[in-house]
Amino acid sequence: MTFDITKIARPNILTLEPYRCARDDFQEGILLDANENTYGPTLKNISSEESALGLNRYPDPHQIALKKQICAYRNSEAEKPGSLVKIPTDSNGKSQGLTAANLCLGVGSDEGIDILIRACVKPGVEKVMICPPTYGMYSICCVVNDVEIVKVPLELDTFQIQPEKILDQLRKDPDIKLIYITSPGNPTAQLIKQSLILQVLKGIEELSWNGLLLLDEAYIDFAPSGSSMSVLVNKHKNLAVMQTFSKAFGLAGIRLGITYSTPEVSILLNSMKYPYNISNITSSIALRATTEGSLNNMKHVVGTIIEQRAIVLEKILKINGVGRNVGGTDSNFILIELLNKDGKPDNKVAHEVYSRLATERHVVVRFRGSELGCTGCLRITIGTPAENEKLLEEFETVLTDVNK
């Protein structure tokens, strides 16, 4: 199938052109074009670091320098020996690595989730496929945009996608325009096998399906090195990949997400987004976070979290009343099940432990027992060594008391 964005995007979206301003052409001189306050920020006691950010000026709407640094990181990871996903080449042997033209930056991954629905799915007519258990914002964005949801669950013993069931659903229902797959999963902590994703992409191409597969890689840097499939978007035209600075980078507060796609899709997304959606503060921090030194520090911290994850998991599974680690080990959290006196996974027990941990012990985890395949489950983020010790101590005390 020849990729054709005109058959994927909504017709009204195809008419959009990126917002342009005088600053696109002229960035120096006496800048009197954008109705900014030329006297500068009016808050008192502004620091020299804050002043240097030019907070009275609108931010760069294109963020090319930041995009290039992000691409350099993902490309370099794919080029390393042992990388699970390699940069593809075209028929002439030329690298198809990521460039700034492949990226759209948003206010967290959530903006990427929403903008793709608005770009491709006609409200009240077309549909979105999700694979539960999965991230809740897909459903919320569908409801907000008046889009019907089609569910093809994960295989619940492994929390892997089921390619044949996904493709069969696409054959039956031509109104499906987007597929959202989370890898590593949330709440499952399970990396989806590359072979399964490629199986779906191959099937999509054979079906000549006019839609996009969206791979949400929010937790990808906790998975084995080189696992990101973002470097494949130029080869597999129906693929888009989302990532965030909120997890491995430790920058949830700056609200920065990335959507990787073909240049044809990316230009549409950049035409739709608000022109100044990435603030000067956010871009400044993200630029610093993607320098070589900061990336090395990120990897060091990720390594520490992975070590702590193994310690927490080993110890918590030994506590009486704890069942299995239901999910995988590819994220900065674990998904464990709690058992009742009969040794069965139990939502009542799990919710009681969750509630009492928070209210009596001031340790907050997440109850996930209402999710498909997660009966009796709590999702626990890996903390610092001191936080993890406190968690384990209070967890055993509360669970023992609940199961008396």
Residue 316 near residue 364 (C-beta atoms within 8 A): no
The percentage of the chain sitting over the pLDDT mark of 90, rounded to a whole number, equals: 89
pLDDT at 2 over 80: no
pTM above 0.85, yes or no: yes
The residue with tokens 């899709």 is: 265
- pLDDT per residue over 279-309, tens digit each? 999 999 999 999 999 999 999 999 999 999 9
pLDDT at 4 over 90: no
- pLDDT per residue over 313-337, tens digit each? 999 999 999 999 999 999 999 999 9
- pLDDT per residue over 149-161, tens digit each? 999 999 999 999 9
| Domains in the chain: ranges and CATH | 5-19+61-290 (3.40.640.10), 295-402 (3.90.1150.10)
- The structure tokens listed for 209 are 């399906």
- pLDDT per residue over 193-227, tens digit each? 999 999 999 999 999 999 999 999 999 999 999 99
pLDDT of residue 264: 95
pLDDT at 121 over 70: yes
Element (H, E) at 78: helix 64-79
The partner residues of 44 in beta bridges, in order of sequence, read none
Is the bond into 133 cis (omega within 30 degrees of 0)? yes
Q: With bands split at pLDDT 50, 70 and 90, how would you rate the model's confidence at 27?
A: confident
- The structure tokens listed for 144 are 């907000």
* Number of Cβ atoms within 10 Å of the Cβ of 344: 12
Distance CA 394, CA 389 (A): 9
- pLDDT per residue over 169-185, tens digit each? 999 999 999 999 999 99
Q: With bands split at pLDDT 50, 70 and 90, how would you rate the model's confidence at 1?
A: low
Residue 189 near residue 335 (C-beta atoms within 8 A): yes
Residue 129 near residue 148 (C-beta atoms within 8 A): no
